[in-house]
Chain A
Amino acid sequence: MKILVVGGGQVGHFLCERLSTEGHEVVLIDRSGDRLKDIEDRLNILGIHGNGASAEVLEQAGIKSVDIFIAVTDMDEINIMACLIAREYKIKTLVARVKSIEYSGESAVLSKEKLGIDLLINPDDAVADEIVKIACRTGSFDVAEFVEGQIQFIGYRIAPDSPLCDLTLKELGDLHGMYRFIVTAISRKGQTIIPRGDDTIQAGDSIFIFAHQQDLPAIQYLLRQEQSKQRRHPRAFILGGGSIGLRIADQLEKMGFEVRLVERDLQRCEALAAKLKRTIILQTEGTDIRTLIDEGVKEAEVFIAVTDNDETNILSSLLCKKYGAKRTLALINQPEFLQLAPDLGIDACISPRLAAAGAILKYVRRGEVISMAAVEGSDAEVIEFQVKKGSRGEGIQLKDLNFPSGAIIGAIVREGGYEIPSGESRLKSGDRVVVFALPKALPKVEGFFPR
C-alpha cells in the first residue's frame, strides 16, 4: 500500500517508522528540511519538502496513486486543508489530527462526515482514554480490549517478591488451573520475547497476558496484584489540569473514583471547578508533597501525572510512589524517556504520540484487522483478525500449525464463546483471532490471514 504522511512531528515520525517496517511504501511531507533529512536518514521512506496543504506539493508526492492519506502536523487548519485537497483525488482513506474541540467534540459544527474525512483524531483525547483504561485495571500498566471488551490484553510488571518469579511457563500453567490465560510475551531489558514452555519469568520482567474479562479478578489474585481489599471509591490523584487532565478527571469521576486534581494556576483551577462535578481541585505544585499527603496521597490507588513537562511528571510520580501511592502513571512526551519507566519504578509511562499513532494504525488497518493496540516498551502489536474461508490454518491443530515465528495467537473467539487456545485448538472459518506479533512477523501474519 502507498501511504502519504503529512507532518514529521512525533506522531508522524512514529507512524512512518511503523508503517515502513511493515513493508508499506511511505512518503512523508514536511516543511522543515532538516527534520525531513533526519527522518529520511533513519527510515526507509521518501521525503518531500514543502507545505502539505499545497496541491503542487501533493502532486509531487504522487498523491494520485496513494491509498491512505494521513495529515498529522501540529496545525489543525493545515491538516484539514490537506485532507480537503486530498479528497479531490478520491483517496480511499483520509486521516487528520485535530486538537481543537470544535472539529471533534460531540457538538461539533464541522463533523468528519461533513468534511469527508474518515478519521479525526485528537491526541489528547486518545491519550486520556488510554490512561483511564490503565488506571481502572489494578496492577496493570498496559491494557487493550478485544472482541468488544471480552478479551483483555494486559501487561503486568513482575516485582522481586512476586510469587511468579523464577517459575517456568509450564509450572505456571499447572498453577493457574481452571483460570485460562496465556502469557504471550515477556519484555526483558527492552527486548520482547515470545516465550515457550520452558522460559522462566524473572523479577523485573513485564509479562503480557490474554485473559477473559470474567477471569480477571481471579487472575489478579493469583498474580498477587490485588493488594489488600479495595476501597469502594478508589482515590485517584491527577497532576496537571490541561485538557488531558480534565478529560481523565471527568471519566474517572463518572466511574466512581474519588478524584483529586492538582493544578498550580488559580484561574485554570476555577475553570476546572466549573466543569467538574465531584473532583476536588487543589491549587498547588505537584511537588508540594505536604499538601498531597494532607489530601491523602498515601491511600491513593493511582497517581496520574499529565503536565506538559516530562521531568515534572516523572519526579512527582516518583515522589508520590515513595509516599505511598499504589500506582503511578506518567505522561511522557519525549520518546527517549519512555524506556525509563520500569527502571525508575513508575508503573506506566504513556506517550501521546503512541496513543495517537496507535489509534491511527488501528484505523488504517481496518478491514482485515478488527482491533489493534501498540505495546509499550516494545515494538510489538496486538491485532485482531478474522479467519476467512480458505485460510491456510483452517482445521489444523495449533501445535501442528506452521504459524509465523515472532507471533502468537492469544485468543480465539467464535460464535457464542471464546477460547484461550491450547495446542489442541483448531481454527475455523468465521473465527476471530487475537494475535500478538513482533513487527518483523507482522507482514507474514497478515499474509496468513488474507482478506
Chain B
Amino acid sequence: MNIFQTLRILGALLVHLSGALLIPIAFSLYFEDGAWLSFVYAAALTLTVGLVLFKGCRSKNTDLGIREGFAVVTLGWTFFALFGSLPYLFSGAIPFPVDALFETMSGFTTTGATILTSIETLPPSILFWRAMTHWLGGMGIIVLSLAILPMLGVGGMQMFKAEVPGPTADRLRPRIQDTAKLLWGVYVTLTAAETILLMFGGMSFFDAICHAFATLATGGFSTRDASIGAYNSAYIDWVVTFFMFAAGVNFSLHFYALRGRIRGYFRNEEFRFYLSITVGAVALLMFLNHGSVYTSFLDNLRYSAFQAASILTTTGFGTADYELWPVLGQYILVTLMFVGGCAGSTGGGMKVVRIMMLFKYAHVQVFRLIHPRAVRLVKLGGNPVDREVVQAILGFFALFMGIFLVASFLMAAVGMDLISAGASVIATLSNIGPGLGSVGPVDNYQHVPALGKCILTFCMLMGRLELFTVLVLFFPSFWRK
C-alpha cells in the first residue's frame, strides 16, 4: 500500500473540488443571498489541504496498484463528503457536522436523502451546491463504473464486457481519460437538454438546472419542499420521468445512440430487461391504483410512471405520497428499490444486470436438476459469462442482503420502528433517498438519531461504491505490505 502516493492523488482531487466550490458564488452574488463568503472559506480551506497533500506527499515509488485504486476511490468520496460539507457549516444552513456530512454524502453518492426540513428558506447558492454535489457525484460514478471499477475487478461492467464482444467495444477509447471525456460529453448534453425542456415548462433557470443536475445523477435533491410535486405540471412530470429513465441506462448506450446507433439500445439485453421491469411495474401500479387512488387514466399513468421511474432509477423525486397507495403497490416499489439502474448508469441499487444474472443462474440450477449431465452456461446477450463473474454476482447479492440485514438491525437498535429501519437502510444503500414509514416520500431524515445518521451515511458510501470497494479497506491484510 503506497500511502503517500494515494494521499497525493487525493490532494489533487481536493484542489479540483476547491475549484468547484467557487461556482455557487456566482449564484450567491446574483441572488444576493449573502452566503458567498462561506464558499470562499470552504474553497480556501479545501485548496490549502489539497495543496499540502499534493506537494507534501512525495514518494520515490510512484507505482499505483489495485490497492491504491480502492483506497483512492473510497477515500476520495469520503474526502469530498467531508470538504463538501463545509459551506453548509460555514453558512449555518446545517449547523451540526453529522447532519452536514449526511447531506453531503447523500449528495455525492447521488442518494438524495435529506435532513433539511424547510428547503425553500435556504440561500439559493447553498441549494445550488446541493444539486451540484449530485452532479459531480454522477460524473464520478460514470467514470468509476465504466472505467475504474472494471480495472479493479469489481462492478457490473465486467458483465457489460461479456455482453459486447470485441476488444474495444466495452471501452469506447483505449485511454480512460478519453472514454471519460466522451461519456461526460453525453452527461453534459443530457443535462443541458433537460434544463432547456424544464425551462419551457415554466421553471426558472435556477430551478431547471438544479433539477436537471439531480435527475441526470439520479440524485433527488429538489429546491422545493414538495419536490417535483410542487410544480404540479404534467409536462414537467413527464420530462423528469423521461430523463430519470434515461439516467438509469448505461451511458455508453447513450453515447452510441448519439452517434446514430439507436438500435444499440434494443440489442442490449440489460436495457430490454430494464425497460420491461419499468413497463411491468408501471402497469401493475396503475392496476392497483385504478379507481381507489386515481380515477383518471392519464393521472394514474402520470403518477404511477413517475414514482416507478423515480424509485427504480434510485432518483427519489416525488410527485405523490405513495404511502397512501395500496400496500401491494408499496411492496412493488420496495422491490424496485433493490433492483436499481443499469450497470454503467448513475443509478444505484444492485443493478438490473445483476438481478437478471441471478434469475438466469437460478434457471440454470433448476435445469441442471432435471438434466444432471447437461452442460449449460449463463449467457448474456448470447455470449457466455465467465464463471468468476457469476460467482462475483452471487457474492455481491449475499453481501448486499447481509449488509441490509445488519444495518437494519442497527437502525432498529438506535430506536427506529421496524418498517422505517429497513426502509431507511435500503433507501440509502441503494442510493434512492425516500423510503417508507418515518422516512417516506413526504418525510425527511432529520429525526434519525446521530448514530443512525452515521450508519446511513456509511450505507450510502458502500452502496455507491459497489460494497467491495469500501469493505476491502477494512481487511487488515489490505494495509500490509
Contacts and interface: CB of A to CB of B under 8 A. Distances in A.
A282 to B, nearest CB: 5
Interface stretch (B268-276, B373-381, B398-406): B373-381
Nearest to B387: A270
A281 interface: yes
Contact of B373 (A270, A277, A283): A283
B371 A270 contact: no
Contacts of B377: 270, 273-274
B383 A281 contact: no
Contacts of A1: none
Given A270-B384, A273-B384, A274-B384, A282 B379 contact: no
14 contacts: A272-B375, A273-B376, A273-B377, A274-B383, A281-B374, A281-B376, A282-B374, A282-B375, A283-B375, A284-B373, A288-B373, A291-B372, A291-B373, A294-B372
A81 interface: no
Interface of B: 371-377, 379, 382-384
A266 B373 CA distance: 10
A273 B374 CA distance: 10
* B interface: dominant SS: loop
A102 interface: no
A291 B375 CA distance: 13
A272 B376 CA distance: 9
Contacts of A295: 371, 373
Max chain A C-beta neighbours (<10 A), residue from B373, B374, B375, B382: B375
A280 interface: yes
Nearest to A268: B375
A273 B375 contact: yes
Contacts of A355: none
Nearest to A282: B373
Contacts of B383: 274
Contacts of A284: 373
Contact of B379 (A274, A281, A291): A274
Interface string A283-326: 11000100100110000000000000000000000000000000
Contacts of A291: 372-373
Contacts of A274: 377, 379, 383-384
B143 to A, nearest CB: 31
A75 to B, nearest CB: 31
A280 B374 contact: yes
A281 B375 contact: yes
Contacts of A281: 374-376
Given A273-B376, A274-B377, A282 B384 contact: no
A277 to B, nearest CB: 8
Given A269-B375, A282-B373, 12 more contacts: A270-B375, A273-B375, A274-B377, A274-B383, A277-B382, A281-B374, A281-B375, A282-B371, A282-B374, A283-B373, A288-B373, A295-B371
What are the nearest 9 A-B pairs in CB distance? Answer: A269-B375, A274-B384, A281-B375, A273-B377, A282-B373, A284-B373, A283-B375, A291-B373, A273-B375
Contacts of B373: 282-284, 288, 291, 295
A277 B373 CA distance: 17
Nearest to A267: B375
A294 to B, nearest CB: 8
Nearest to A262: B373
A281 B367 CA distance: 12
Max chain A C-beta neighbours (<10 A), residue from B372, B373, B377, B384: B373
A288 B377 CA distance: 23
Nearest to A283: B375
Contacts of A283: 373-375
B49 to A, nearest CB: 52
Contacts of A273: 375-377, 384
Nearest to A277: B382
Interface in A228-273: 266, 269-270, 272-273
